[in-house]
Structure formats: structure tokens, C-alpha cells
Structure 1
């Protein structure tokens, strides 16, 4: 059989697999991605992108960085958000319908903002079918020379105990081309990989190959989904809408163009085979699903569409994999390690953010920048998140599938109870409130120095002014996903000579032989792994930015102010919003945009200890 080698083999080209492959390719990692499907999804499947995921997708403002040789180069992050926002539909409003008191159908009860996360940079969801989202990745990957190999099925996978096996590629995978010659040997290939990522869905072959259990349970809730262009008099057809009726529950999700998605609660017996206990799609079709929905939407009408774009039925299950990795050589991501209901729009978002968490860690280890121990934090962070997601989903699915409270059913779900849950968990469902607990890469020792910039959470959006030209910048646009750590140095008021003197001392400490900036910089070049950005509380009218020590203005574009532009319409709140005092602070932002640790301006030793816990020294 043919043989090949690769740094990372990704099995599965859904959203999790494509996010992983794309991120690794951008990090110059030799990656290969295979998928059993002959082509990408054409319609349906997952369709909701939450605010935090939009932040990840965002085309970040080009950041100019200088090398020690004075060579300037441009860096950009994933670069996917423009197309997502252009092609997708935005959901800003959520509507709620409940039974009329006289029992004659449903009526509007409330309308509220769809996203209830105060710090969301994008306070809305974007809906676009999975195939179109996959196309955004596929087209961007193609520009980098990476394409999905399909239709290919893995048949065996083994991990050698010898780390130097096959020139340091200890994972052996046999792949089979499904549309080949028909000769097994000619159609098969042995791939030797340093790492494998199984992003191959809820029925993951990779997970099953290593007997990784899915822990959790299956509910009795059965739902149907139809995608269509509606012909209806329902007034909230273009808003996210939750309907609780005496005939069951429904949800409307407006989609790109004129399409909508309708979720319909079903009676379990109508869709389950009595002998096997499994779903039987032959018992129901899209027309039957629409008939069920019509009863819940009465007195509003839905005419039969000319065609259905996509449809399916499913039982809500809530499970988490017992392990996310095997020997830190084989990892699983996305639906391969967690399944839950789609009502809160978490599936695709959780999946892609699994990969987003893993990519920079793989890149650092492959480059020799970090110890392989870093890879253990992937399971530690993302499995805890998945467990929290399942806990939330159990309660939310129960509320959604429960009967509404009426005069005859006082034990049912009240509107107040449902909307309270909807708003209370807004930070979680939006992805904005994801919190990673303490670990080698999350250290909250000096949290009080930046009280509202929470260690283990993503950096909230705020506007800054670039000191050299007073141009406003969103701080998230200064944190591209380029595998580097960002060191945000909140310098205090640099118009004060005493503060400048402290910064001069800090610069000398940072450049000392025992500082992290010296010990862990690959090839002796700090800008390869660290990007230093200074943020002064001085005012634009009086600041002299080039009075800063050179380290804090490696290029004129690296020095910023906590001030407003002359229009006065934005900015000027970074220090107060983040809870940083006049003494300043140093904030380490991980390559995925999450706060790793915080230290005072005299805390270089604390930062060195932080990085020493997982980085390898440049001499090694």
C-alpha cells in the first residue's frame, strides 16, 4: 500500500474538522483532512452561529509587526466573518407565543433581544446552513493549498508506544478510497501522523476505535425539523420565535434569504418503530411535520410550500465523551465528544470552538515551543465546558418540551419561567460567558489588579485610540489568532515622568536573561511568540508616544491610548471597564483570545513562572 506522513491527520470535514484544518494550515502545520462524504453538505444540518463564534470568525484589522531586522510584515486572523455576515441572516429579536386564555390558539406574549450578553461585540446570532458555512472554510483553505480528500474512510488506527516510531509519527492510520479501482490494496493508503483529530460526528469511528464511552442519557423528546420558504400570515416569521401551545411546542429560526427553519415537537409514538425503539423516518415526512406545526400555530396559517429544502426527525440525547484524547496523540472534537439538543444553537458553535481551543496548542507543541503537557489542557477546558452545556441543555430542553401552564394545567411551564431561563443563560448560550478554570495556562493569582478582566474568559470588546494618529481600534482587532501570546501592558499615565521611569525599569527587567521574553523566545526573537501592545491612560492632546521605551513601541502601530476620538462617541473606558487602576497592569492573552494571567508592572517574575509551566526554553 501507498504510504505518507503528515503532522496532523483530521478525520471528518464538518465544521469542527474544517475549523481544525483551516487553523492548522494558517499556522503552517502540515495537515491533511479526509471525509467519507463524496461532497460537502448541500442543505440543512446545523445553521446557527453565536456571538462569540462571530468574534472568532471576525476579519481582524491588519496588525503591523516589526522584526529585529526592521522588516515589517502583516498578520491577519481567520478572515471569515465578512462572508458569514454577508451571506447569513441576523437574528436580533426573540418572540414568545403562548396559549390564549380562552384556549382558541396562541397569542404573542413577549418580544425581547435575542442575545442577552451585555459584552457581546455582535449582539445577534447569524443563521446560515451548514453547507454554506463549510464552503467559507473550504474556499479559504483552497487558497492555502489544502483540500479535503474524499470519499475516504479510515479502516484501522494504532498508536505506537515508541514516540520515535516512523520518524516521530507514532499514529498509523489506514485509509481506503471509496470510489477507487475496487482493489483494496490499490485503494488503500497508510498514513503516519504525529497527531490525529477525530471530528467525525456523533457516531465517531475514531471514538469507537478506542472504546471511548459516551456518558449521559437519551430523553423521550422527539422533534422534527423542516427548512422551507414559508407562505404564512404569522407576524414573527422573521424573528426567532418560541411557541408553547396546547398542541405542543415549536420554534421558528429565520434563515438566509426567505427561508426559515421550523422545529416541531412530536408525539414519540408517531416517529418510533415499535419493535426496534428507534426513529423511523419512513413513518413521517415533511408534509406530516408541517401538519403537526399547523396545529400549534393556530390561528395562524402555513400553506404548503412548493418544496422543502431539508427535513429530519431526532430524539434529544445529552452525552459527553469520557475522554477527549488517547495518550495526547489522538483527539476527538465536536459531535464526536458531545451531543445535545439543537434548541439553544450550541452544536456547531461548541464543535468549532473545540477545534479553536486545540489548534494553537498543537501548533505550539509541533514547533517545539511548548511541552506536550500543554495538550492535556484541551480536555480539561473543553470537557468541563461540554458538561456545563449538558447541564444547561437538560433544563432548557425540559422547559421547551414541557406543556405550557394554563388554568387547567397549573403544573406546566410558565412564560415567566421560560423567559427567565432564556435570559439568565444568555451569556452561556452566546459563548460570551465561557470560563476556563485554573490550570497551567490559566492563573488568577493577581486577578484583583484587573478585577473585571476575568482570567480564563475572552477579552471583552473595547475601543482604543492608536497613539500615533488617534485612529480608533477595537481591542479584539489587535488580538489576531496568529498563535502568538499578546502581552497587553497597561502603562498608566505615560505623560507623568515617574510612570515613564517605572516603564524603563520594566523594559530592562523584561529584556533580562532570566525573563520569559528572553528565555522562551524562539531563535532569540521575541516577536515570533510574543506580541507586546502598550495601552496608556494619557490623553491624546498631550501624549508623546515615542517617549515610551522601545520595547513598548516596537512599531508606531503598537502604542495605544485609553481615550476617545475627537468625535467623543466611543472609547475612553478601557481602564475603568477592565477594573485597572492608575498603577497599570500586564495582561497575558492566549492565542485564542482568552486571558491567561495578569501581573503588576513589577511582576515579571510571575509572568516568567507562568510561561515556564508549559513553554520550553529557547536553548532547548
Structure 2
């Protein structure tokens, strides 16, 4: 290792946020150095996050890690809810499984963070990189007078290897709730402390509770809050409960491992429970907070727990970090390459800060209810904490599973001129077919066949070409000119309603990009495209709708991109 080095992006923290960002940047040809002050064996020793929602799995597909996660984790498609030892139908986690059907990942994936990080690390190493374990960030400085673009100089320290200086174009703090990058940069996070304390235990656990292998269970209790049960990867399960005022009074000097295990046994009564092997346990206090800024001084960025902290009540921790990483990775790579105006990278803060703020609002109430208490605004309803918990869960379910996370109007999300869909929202997935083979293909897979997480997709919905062919012919040259203006930044896909022997047969000429067939028109319908009119849809690299217009209005797409790219890179 050199005593000094240069890199495009210095990433502090080798957890999910840091590793996923580094993978995405590497796939776009952007160099990184990832460091972590802990040794790898220290990280592996913890359980931490466990559950990935459908949208997270979609967002991870361009990075190439979703398949490996599925091979290691447990796919949960159902849950069960108990009260006083009896199964309760209706409220509970089970309502989410109706909402996840909007995705072809219509399930939740349970995999402990130590195992998901192994997947992420292996993919980073496949890029020819390795994490600098044992190195901590001491300080950094920014010098904008340098003309080589490496404006950030960081001083690192290792207990046996001494100090190293790293110069980079950007610095990303992905180093958790006690972020050194956040502290050194002077970015404030206003913490909201609570009196709530929770227990989580992972291990090989035996119980006679029916439904224990479905994926999830909740147990409504008097003295342990709403008890969580999760079927994990391999032979492990997780049980979690709240240290309610009753239990806090019972253990005024704190709770030991043995006492925590006994309370876990008591929490599921009348069912029996035995912990055959304890892999990990934690006792932690709940607090919430969102950092004031996700970007400061142009070159310093925060993400994951460094930017927001909250309870694990609705399993949002790693999922929110995945949204951060996949929102950032294409904007940051484009900034390094000079593709975008600075305003594009600014949207990382506006979009993710807004999402994190909403998350904290939800989590503040959820953590109160899971702990067995009722927020003041619900006291007059005459409902139990568990009843209000499921009400809160269902009211926010689309956001909770990630499919409903959306972003406000901005330079990236502009008024669609031809589509019934709102920009700033997740693009629908659908089944289409390629030429020849009669096997359906997901539209997402058709868009992302190159697995490049930095490219925009411009999808030509050609509609019924008997009706739209003339308009399509007129605009072909304009779209081809656009492709030539942005080599490497844009991919084209043509989607024809119905079927044909070839793209040429359907269009009287070559398709723009690869051609796929929308046999029953369902993909057109999901995007709100009239088969007789067609449309052009601009999809951001993170599969969020950016813009849409008619086949005859290519100039509006040129106008859209002109607001994103520097003038010398215009069309």
C-alpha cells in the first residue's frame, strides 16, 4: 500500500452503503478506495439488518448482487400474528404481501447483514479491488485551487502501518451513526432520544409456535411489546422484543445475556421456545435523526446510517441505505466523468433527505407503538397500541416496502407530456418478449441487459405500428442523433405492441436499440401509453420515471437532457 494515493472517490465505511456504492462506481469505470477502521472479523461478528424489501432487490439488480443474495437468504412470502396464544387474522405484517405483487420480487428476503456484506465484498473484489481494513480517517481538507480535480486530501491512520495520504475528487461518509466524516465536516444531525429499549437475539431457536417457518410472525403481548419473529438464513431465526416499563423496572441495573434469553422465552408464552445456539444479541436504545445535509462543500457526501438513524421496527435500515447508494451511484459517476451539471448531484440531497425525513416521521410512531405505548395524537381513538401499529403500517405500506418511494418535481423529474404516470416514481415492470424465443422477459431485464447502473433508458413505445409507423419514421433520425450526442450515457429500447417476425417488419426499418414485443399491450397500458399514439419514455438509471413525451416531440427530450448536461455536451 502506498503512503499516498489518488482515487476518484474515497469511501469511508465498508458496510452496505460503502460497498454497494463502490461496486456501482466500479461498473461505471470510476475508481474508489474503501476503508474501514474495523477489521473484517469484527464486522462479521454482528447480526444487524436482516430483511430486504422488493424495491431494494430491484435496485440491486444492475449491480449484479441480487441473485447471489437470493441464493443465501430465506424467501418469505407470508406471516402470522398471535394474541394470547391464538392466531389473529387480519392485522399484521401479512398485509404487505398484497402490495409487493407490484414487483416480480413479490416476497421479502431475510439475510443477516454479515452474510449480505460477504456478497457485496465478493463483488467488490471481483472488480479487482480490496477494502483497506484497519484504516481510519483522521482528518481531511479541501483545496479548490488545484486544477487536477483531486480537491480532497484525507489523512488516514493504521495502528501498525502508520499514516497515508489519499487525494480524491469526492469523499463519501458511509461510516455509520458515529460517522467521522459527518463529524469532521461539521454536518449536524439532531438526534431525538427516546426512553425505548429493545432486545434482538439471533441463533438456532426451537419453538412449537405454528407458522414459525413462514418468514415472519408478530406476537402481541402485555409486557414485551409487539414481539418480532423472523426466519433467517441457514438454520437461524431472530426474536426481538421491547424492554417495556415493566421490564425496565425488573432490571434496574441493566439486563444480562441470560436474562435477555429468559425474557425471550417468556415473551412467546404459551408457546415454548429454546435457544439452542446464540449467534448474536443486542440491547439498544431507540433514537431517530436525519443529518442536515447529505452533501456539503460540493465534494463531501453522506449516506446510510451516517445520514439517518432510526429503529429497526419496520426493517428500514439497510433498505434505506440501498436507496441512498443506488440514488447516488449514477449521479456521482456522472459527476466524475463530467456528464452532468452540478445540479444533478445536488438532487442526491434533496431526494434522499426528503425520503429519510418521511422515514423518521413513520419510525417515531412505529417505535412508540412497538414498545407498547400510544402516541398522543392517537389517545382519543380508544385503540390498543397493536391496533394502531397495524394502522400505521398499512397507511405507509407502499413506502415501507420501497415501491412507493418517490421524489418531488426537479430538474430530473419533469412534467410528463405523454403518459398517465407521475414522474419521480418507480417505473412499472412488465413481461415482454424478444424476437424468436417464446419465453417472456421482464422489462427491467430488457432495459438493463448491459447491467450498467449509470445509463439512462429511452424507451420508444412504438404502439401498434400499423397506426404509429409514420410518426415513428419521422422521429427516427432525431433519436439517433441524440444517441450520438451522449455516447455511453444513454441506451435505447424499442417496444412494439403485438408481435412480428422482426423489428424491421414491424417498423419498416431498424429499431432504436434492442427491440422487444409487448404481445398483449400490457406494458403500454402500465405506462399509460395509447397503442394508437405511442410515446417516448425517459427512465433514470435507478428505474425512476424522469420524463415522457409523444413520438413526434423528440425536441422536448433534447430540452430535458440539456438541463442536465454541460453545454459543451449538449445535443
Establish whether TM, by shorter chain, passes 0.5. yes
Pair 120,42 (structure 1): closer, same or farther in 2 beyond 3 Å: same
In structure 1, the partner of 2:97 is 115
Supply the distance in 2 between the matched residues of 1:348 and 1:145 (Cα, whole angstroms): 25
* 2:164 maps to 1:189: yes
In structure 1, the partner of 2:243 is 266
* 2:516 maps to 1:560: yes
In structure 2, the partner of 1:91 is 76
* 2:429 maps to 1:461: yes
* 2:337 maps to 1:367: yes
CA contact (8 A) 1:503 1:549 kept: no
* 2:528 maps to 1:579: yes
Q: Whose Rg is larger?
A: 1
* 2:230 maps to 1:248: no
Pair 148,517 (structure 1): closer, same or farther in 2 beyond 3 Å: same
SS in 2 for 1:257: coil
Give the unaligned 5+ runs of structure 1.
59-76, 100-105, 181-186, 275-279, 523-527, 565-571
In structure 2, the partner of 1:139 is 122
Pair 492,144 (structure 1): closer, same or farther in 2 beyond 3 Å: same
SS in 1 for 2:277: coil
In structure 1, the partner of 2:113 is 130
Map residues 466-615 of structure 1 onto 2, 5 A cutoff: 466-480=434-448, 481-482=451-452, 483-494=454-465, 496=466, 499-511=468-480, 516-518=482-484, 520-522=485-487, 528-537=488-497, 539-540=498-499, 545-548=504-507, 550=509, 552-554=511-513, 558-563=514-519, 572-581=521-530, 582-615=532-565
Map residues 16-415 of structure 1 onto 2, 5 A cutoff: 16-39=17-40, 40-58=43-61, 77-99=62-84, 106-110=85-89, 112-117=94-99, 118-162=101-145, 164=147, 167-180=148-161, 187-238=162-213, 239-249=215-225, 250-267=227-244, 283-303=254-274, 305-402=275-372, 411-413=382-384
Supply the distance in 2 between the matched residues of 1:428 and 1:390 (Cα, whole angstroms): 12
CA contact (8 A) 2:154 2:167 kept: yes
CA contact (8 A) 1:116 1:427 kept: no
Pair 410,551 (structure 1): closer, same or farther in 2 beyond 3 Å: closer
Map residues 411-430 of structure 1 onto 2, 5 A cutoff: 411-413=382-384, 416-430=387-401
SS in 2 for 1:188: strand
Shift, 1:41, TM fit:
2.1
CA contact (8 A) 2:231 2:237 kept: yes
CA contact (8 A) 1:87 1:128 kept: yes
TM-score with structure 2 setting the length:
0.91
TM-score with structure 1 setting the length:
0.84
Which stretch shifts more, 286-295 or 323-332? 286-295
Shift, 1:414, TM fit:
5.9
Shift, 1:28, TM fit:
1.0
Shift, 1:153, TM fit:
0.7
Shift, 1:479, TM fit:
2.6
Supply the distance in 2 between the matched residues of 1:351 and 1:271 (Cα, whole angstroms): 32
Shift, 1:200, TM fit:
0.2
Shift, 1:415, TM fit:
5.1
CA contact (8 A) 2:223 2:246 kept: no
Greater helix percent: which structure?
2
Supply the distance in 1 between the matched residues of 2:381 and 2:258 (Cα, whole angstroms): 33
Give the unaligned 5+ runs of structure 2.
375-379
Pair 270,243 (structure 1): closer, same or farther in 2 beyond 3 Å: closer
- Over residues 310-339 of structure 1, what are the superposed CA-to-partner deviations in whole Å (9 max), with x where a residue is unaligned? 000111111100011112201010000101
Instruction: Report the aligned-residue RMSD.
Output: 2.5
Shift, 1:612, TM fit:
0.6
Supply the distance in 2 between the matched residues of 1:619 and 1:230 (Cα, whole angstroms): 59
CA contact (8 A) 1:116 1:426 kept: no
